[in-house]
């Protein structure tokens, strides 16, 4: 697996992955706008054959980075792709001056919560009814970079 910046030509594959991973997926237009945002950095994980297996993004504002999205293809989960992307995003956030990273995660997403905890995130709050389809609370998590 290799990591690189998410490129415009990756957007259709990222949108397809978005539809596989999320009940309320971002559109191609939203993904493209996020990748082009001046405060954003988006990475792509590709298998050796070139297929997109994951992507993730952050926005950095002053001393805080926000994980805006991260997704891994179902067949590549628990194989290190998500961890590699998140570690890279944390490194890049720190290089851009962020001292901490925050994110929201579905309360019931035990796999993601486990990954975040492994990388030093802890819950600092809750957003009631934040997610739809199904409605679920979000845990707000934070890590020091």
Rounded distance between C-alpha atoms, residue 70 and residue 58, angstroms: 9
Query: What is the pLDDT, as a whole number, of residue 49?
Result: 76
Rounded distance between C-alpha atoms, residue 103 and residue 16, angstroms: 23
Rounded distance between C-alpha atoms, residue 66 and residue 101, angstroms: 6
Residue numbers of the domain that contains 67: 2-144
Dump pLDDT digits (tens) for 77-114.
999 999 999 999 999 999 999 999 999 999 999 999 99
Residues 95-110: b if buried by 16+ CB within 10 A, e if exposed: ebebebbbbbbbbeee
pLDDT exceeds 90 at position 50: no
Q: How many domains does the chain have?
A: 1
Nearest to 1 by CA among 74, 81, 83: 81
pLDDT exceeds 90 at position 67: yes
What's the token pair of residue 91?
Answer: 């490194």
CATH number at residue 117: 3.40.630.30
Q: How confident is the model at residue 124 (pLDDT cuts 50, 70, 90)?
A: very high
pTM for this one? Answer: 0.94
């Amino acid at each position: 697996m290799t990591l690189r910046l998410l490129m415009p030509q990756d957007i259709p594959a990222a949108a397809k992955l978005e539809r596989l991973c999320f009940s309320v997926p971002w559109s191609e237009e939203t993904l493209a706008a996020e990748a082009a945002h001046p405060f954003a950095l988006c990475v792509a994980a590709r298998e050796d054959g070139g297929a997109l297996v994951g992507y993730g993004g952050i926005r950095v504002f002053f001393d805080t980075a926000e994980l805006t999205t991260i997704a891994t293809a179902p067949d590549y989960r628990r194989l290190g792709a998500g961890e590699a992307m998140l570690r890279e995003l944390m490194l890049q956030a720190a290089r851009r001056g962020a001292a901490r990273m925050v994110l929201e995660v579905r309360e019931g997403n035990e796999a993601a919560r486990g990954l975040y905890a492994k990388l030093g995130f802890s819950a600092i709050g809750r957003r009631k009814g934040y997610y739809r389809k199904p409605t679920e609370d979000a845990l707000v998590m934070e890590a020091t970079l």
